[in-house]
Chain A
Amino acid sequence: GTRIIYDRKFLLDCRNSPLAR
Chain B
Amino acid sequence: SRRKTVCPAAGEHPLQYNYTFWYSRRTPSRPASSQSYEQNIRQIGTVASVDQFWRFYHLIRQGDLSGHSDHLFKEGIKLHVGDESNRSGGKWIIRLRKGLASRFWENIILAMLGEQFMVGEEICGAVVSIRFQEDILSIWNRTSNDQMTTSRIRDTLRRVLNLPTNTIMEYKTHNDSLRDNSSFRNTKISL
Contacts and interface: CB of A to CB of B under 8 A. Distances in A.
B116 A19 contact: no
Interface size class of A (residues with CB under 8 A): 10 to 19
Contacts of A21: 54-55, 58
A17 B110 CA distance: 16
B67 interface: no
Contacts of A10: 114
A5 B107 CA distance: 15
A5 B115 contact: yes
Contacts of A12: 110
B54 A6 contact: no
A20 B59 CA distance: 11
B50 A6 contact: yes
B51 A20 contact: yes
